Amino acid sequence: MAIRNIRTEGDEILRKKCREITEMTPKLATLIDDMIETMYEANGVGLAGPQVGVLKRVVVIDVGDGPIVLINPVILETSGEQTGGEGCLSVPGKTATVTRPNYVKVKAFDRDMKEYTMEGIELLARAVCHECDHLDGILYVDKAESPVMDTDDYYEQHQDDNEE
């Protein structure tokens, strides 16, 4: 496994639409391992193909319950909403407010190319939506409802948000 270089905002690859994956190959399996390792190394909760320069519909997520691999993910259902701070490894050190569904149901293929469905709430729902957006060239800053600012400053200004 290897740590991959994470592309940052301004890199055109982050704005491109990714292609579907049709089969698992040794190269793709290595990419997935590398993405997981790169995500952990950067202390992220998710990483999508274009963030490591690969225009393929693959996402890895770990919100603390172990790594999830989503190949060709399709969001089938959403409900509710959550509004809160969101960041991205491709926009390092920054945070802004984004509203996302509080629940998602997603269909994807696992690393054996077996189709499965998964449900998530709260942070996992946010991560799924955020990472799926990456596959279509969308960054969270496009959806920000507050200025995109340094993470420390953001949480200093918003520390009371969840207390009422």
Catalytically annotated residues: 131
Among 82-90, 93-101, 102-110, 115-123, which window interacts with Zn ion (CB under 5 A)?
A: 82-90
Q: State the number of binding residues for Zn ion (CB under 5 A).
A: 1
Question: Of the candidates 28, 32, 88, 127, which one interacts with Zn ion according to CB under 5 A?
Answer: 88
Shorter beta-carbon distance to Zn ion: residue 88 or 114: 88
Q: Are 94 and 85 in contact (CB under 8 A)?
A: no
Q: Are 60 and 49 in contact (CB under 8 A)?
A: no
Write b or e for each residue in 133-145: b if 16 or more Cβ atoms lie within 10 A of its Cβ, otherwise e: bbbebbbbeebbe
Distance, CA of 35 to CA of 146 (rounded, Å): 29
Asked if 60 touches Zn ion (CB under 5 A), the answer is no
Among 12-20, 59-67, 69-77, 81-89, which window interacts with Zn ion (CB under 5 A)?
A: 81-89
Shorter beta-carbon distance to Zn ion: residue 109 or 140: 140
Q: Are 7 and 15 in contact (CB under 8 A)?
A: no
Q: How far is the CB of 52 from Zn ion (least distance, A)?
A: 11
- Alpha carbon 38 to chain centroid distance? 13
Residue nearest to Zn ion (CB): 88
By DSSP bridging, strand 68-79 and strand 58-61 are: antiparallel
Shorter beta-carbon distance to Zn ion: residue 88 or 124: 88
Among 13-21, 60-68, 71-79, 83-91, which window interacts with Zn ion (CB under 5 A)?
A: 83-91
Phi and psi at residue 23, in whole multiples of 5°?
-155, 150
Q: How far is the CB of 98 from Zn ion (least distance, A)?
A: 11
Phi and psi at residue 115, in whole multiples of 5°?
-75, 140
Shorter beta-carbon distance to Zn ion: residue 113 or 147: 147
User: What does the binding site for Zn ion look like in residue numbers (CB under 5 A)?
Assistant: 88
